[in-house]
Structure 1
Amino acid sequence: MRRAIFLKSLAAMAAAGVLPVSAQKAAALKMMIPANPGGGWDSTGRALGKAMQDAGAAASVSYDNRGGAAGIIGLAQFVNASKGDPNALMVMGAVMLGGIIAGRPPVGLDKVTPLARLTSEYNVFVLPVDSPHKTMKDLLEQLKKDPGSVKWGGGSRGSTEHIAAAMIARAVGVDPAKINFVAFRGGGEAIAAVLGGNVTVGGSGYSEFAEYIAAGKMRAVGVTSGTRLKGVNVPTLKEQGIDVEIGNWRGVYGAPGITDGQRKVLIDALHRTFKHPAWQDQMDKNRWTPAWLAGDEFANFVDAEFASLRATMAKSGMV
């Protein structure tokens, strides 16, 4: 009798989508990556998908890359195609907030379901290896003489590297509105532009440029962290007298219209993955800082970040 009651309870919980992760069959998940292949969101999404499978939190993961407009194109696609889908995920982060502030799209994050923040990462600025500039000081001397002659390459308008470039200009007495920022649809395009010498300086998360810096194909001249990154011999902007510090966090959202129970299932699956050695290895490999925050706490964090970024962008002449 007790067994029958127990089984009925499990069935009811399953129907409601509130079974603990350990008691559920791993689902086939769909991951929206709102960027082209080769960038930070792409590497984060694919690393997360693999780690979820290694952790037994997903049976399989399929990926959909939709780049452009700081992730807004992918966000719109996710909202329209995934309503009520408990197996749909979307990678996002600070860059998307900047894109929403700058672009004012008709679809915002209020249409999707906040799940968790996973990592934080700082930006690094690099020069093409054959650049006539050797240091950040050299670059800024040119910026002061002729702001438009310095081509800053990076992600979409409103990305953290775009904001950082504007903050650097402001910090050294240059009108941020005069910076020449070249936006690319994905990290792969930005990498190619730096390697080809098509931009004066490139900016991105350290993990995206790390292999090229290590191989001597790019020259790193500054990171946006408060202190030097562990194991990375690149000076911070602050230690070079530039009062700029800005981080780039990444997180995951669920589809519009999922139930509270379905949201909990996804958060539990992400938390199980976050603690698994496969994900820990990815964080170490990419020099990501663990930054777990879930559910309503994550939603409140995003609201606060949105307000803070808007104020920063306004001061930098970007809004």
Structure 2
Amino acid sequence: MRKLLFTVAAVAMLAAGNAFAAEYKIMAPAAPGGGWDQTARTMQTVLQDEKIADNVQVNNVPGAGGTIGLAQFVNQAKGDASQLIVGGYVMVGAILTNASPVTLDQVTPIARLTGEYEALVVPAASDIKDMAGLVEKLKADPGSVSWGGGSAGGTDHITAGLIAKAVGVDPTKVNYIAFAGGGEALAAILGGQVTVGISGYGEFESQIKAGQLRMIGISSEERVADIDAPTFKEGGVDVAIQNWRMIAAAPGISDEQKAAIGADIEKMVKSKSWQDALSAKGWADTYLAGDDFKAQLAEDVSSTTSILKDVGLIK
């Protein structure tokens, strides 16, 4: 009996140890330095520091708005509960505009993690002082207003289309210039090569604070603490949008594996380390998991399909 009790206790201790021995490989389907990469590497740090996982590796597979990485993940990670992929709203549009054969229906959504609002900026010397000034120019001659932002069909492009639509301008007339990277877009905005810049607030924060760029609006429903800018709605444009980021697991995992991953992610987002990281990076905590996130994802795919048809990027 004593031997049996010892064996049971040993198994229990082993099981308890394994609960803290998770290993994850997180794919960031983008180049190092961007939002998805930062999200993956922040997860790596927090999961390890909080002892939720013993070992977390991050790998980058850039290209085509995340769809190259997504295809690789779906094809190579099936049934592997250790593999995760970061994604977000940009990927929703990229799947549609690239006519990707692989979609988010083929992964296992775990949770929405963070959100970042879209900021509209102009060079400090611009004659556009506010949203009203931008709208006036847009209505007078849509083609004369050039918008500098990220990939075609991404959150920046969608936001520009929504603004045009909201003020009665044909979204297909939007003169949107897509840049491959944030640095390239920023240089074009600062150099006056485009009329207005559009991206996540974090991309422009330093230049706004230095007085090089003027922020004329932010895409939140209400004013954001510590950001001195009116919302689009305050500026008379009825648009609110958030560029969210998520984590998903591999296709073909069991319900038990999905639940275990979800539990680890929930521990992570509730940890002080994660909350401190969000505050430092200016990311909003938009944690949403389970069926609620699945429903929100389906709704975003539907609404994104509509606006991309409006701007003429898909049929």
Same fold (TM over 0.5): yes
Residue in structure 2 matching 1:24, options 14, 20, 35 = 20
Written as runs of structure 1 = structure 2, the 5 A alignment for 1:1-319 is 1-5=4-8, 7-8=10-11, 23-27=19-23, 29-315=24-310, 317-319=312-314
Alignment deviations for residues 167-225 of structure 1 (CA, whole Å, 9 cap, x no partner): 11122222100111122334343333323433221211222322222222322111111
Q: Output the CA distance in 1 between the equivalents of 2:207 and 2:159.
A: 21
- Read off the aligned partner of 1:126 and give its amino acid letter: V
Q: Is the 8 A contact 1:124 1:220 kept in 2?
A: yes
Equivalent position amino acid for 1:226 in 2: E
* Cα distance in 2 for residues equivalent to 1:46 and 1:221: 31
1:123 CA displacement: 0.8
- Partner SS state of residue 113, structure 2: strand
Q: Is the 8 A contact 1:120 1:288 kept in 2?
A: yes
- 1:222 touches 1:235 (CA, 8 Å); kept in 2? yes
> Residues 131, 48 of structure 1: CA spacing in aligned structure 2 closer, same or farther, 3 A cutoff?
farther
Q: Deviations over 1:148-172 (max 9, x none)?
A: 2222122222222211111111222
Q: What is the rounded CA distance, in whole Å, between the counterparts of 2:262 and 2:182 in structure 1?
A: 28
DSSP-derived class of the 1:261 partner: helix
Q: Which runs of 4+ in 1 moved over 6 A?
A: none
TM-score (norm 1): 0.87
Identity %: 47
Structure 1: stretches of 5+ with no match in the other structure:
none
Q: How far apart in 2 are the matches of 1:261 and 1:24?
A: 16
- 1:212-258 CA distance string (max 9 Å, x none): 22222322111111111111110111111111111222110112223
- C-alpha change, 1:315 and 1:214, in structure 2 (3 Å) is same
Shift of 1:9: 6.5
Cα pair distance change 1:239/1:90, threshold 3 Å? same
- The alpha-carbon deviation at position 267 of structure 1 amounts to 1.6
Question: Kindly tell me: are residues 192 and 48 of structure 1, through their superposed partners in 2, closer, same or farther at Cα, counting changes over 3 Å?
Answer: farther
Cα contact 1:115–1:294 (8 A) shared by 2:
yes
Cα distance in 2 for partners of 1:279, 1:312 equals 33
Residues paired across the two proteins, number: 311
Check the 8 A contact 2:121/2:214 in 1, yes or no: yes
Cα distance between partner residues in 1 of 2:57 and 2:194: 34
Gaps of 5+ in 2: none
